[in-house]
């Protein structure tokens, strides 16, 4: 099994450590390869809210030349994905939100219905349930 980890945090802290532990646990059950993408290290442009991706097709996004194409390619190649991000104010950090906003058209044209997915988050207080639901 090939797993893509999309880590959406501005740093490599507790959420990444928990994700690494999850990887170790999965590997105990069989062969699996994990690839990590740190959203913070990618060039992801802010969604402009133009709706081209939804009404005309994602190829007409004015930001189509950033690293979102790389993320989609890696998701296409993977059997499953882990969406990993800490909880900031009842949600995910801005770096992860930026990627999710750019992929929002997938809610209108589902593409990865044959993939497995796991959401991982950590918190020092409240909002974990909301952040996990968002992921």
Give mean pLDDT, residues 64-79.
96
Question: How do residues 22-66 score in pLDDT, each as one tens digit?
Answer: 999 999 999 999 999 999 999 999 999 999 999 999 999 999 999
Q: If you average pLDDT over residues 3-12, what whole number do you get?
A: 97
Centre a 10 Å sphere on the Cβ of residue 20 and count the other Cβ atoms it contains. Answer: 15
pLDDT interval class at 122 (50, 70, 90): very high
* Pairwise CA distance, residues 29 & 38, whole Å: 25
pLDDT at 109: 86
User: Cβ neighbours of residue 40 under 8 Å, at least 6 residues apart?
Assistant: 7, 8, 9, 10, 11, 95
Q: Which DSSP string do the residues of 106-120 spell out, in sequence order?
A: GGTS---TTSEEEEE
Q: What is the pTM of this model?
A: 0.94
Q: Which two tokens stand for residue 77?
A: 């190649």
Q: Is the pLDDT of residue 110 over 90?
A: no
Query: What's the confidence (pLDDT) of residue 112?
Result: 93
């Amino acid at each position: 099994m090939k797993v893509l980890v999309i880590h959406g945090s501005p740093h490599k802290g507790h959420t990444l450590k928990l994700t690494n532990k999850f990887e170790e646990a999965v590997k105990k059950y069989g062969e699996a390869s994990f690839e990590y993408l740190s959203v913070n290290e990618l060039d992801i442009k802010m969604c402009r809210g133009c709706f081209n991706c939804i009404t005309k097709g994602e190829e007409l996004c004015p930001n189509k030349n950033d690293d979102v194409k790389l993320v989609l390619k890696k998701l296409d190649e993977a059997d499953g994905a882990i969406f990993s991000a800490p909880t900031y104010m009842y949600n995910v950090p801005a770096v992860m939100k930026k990627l999710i906003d750019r992929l929002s058209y997938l809610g209108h044209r589902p593409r990865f219905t044959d993939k497995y997915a796991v959401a991982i988050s950590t918190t020092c207080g409240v909002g974990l349930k909301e952040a996990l639901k968002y992921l």
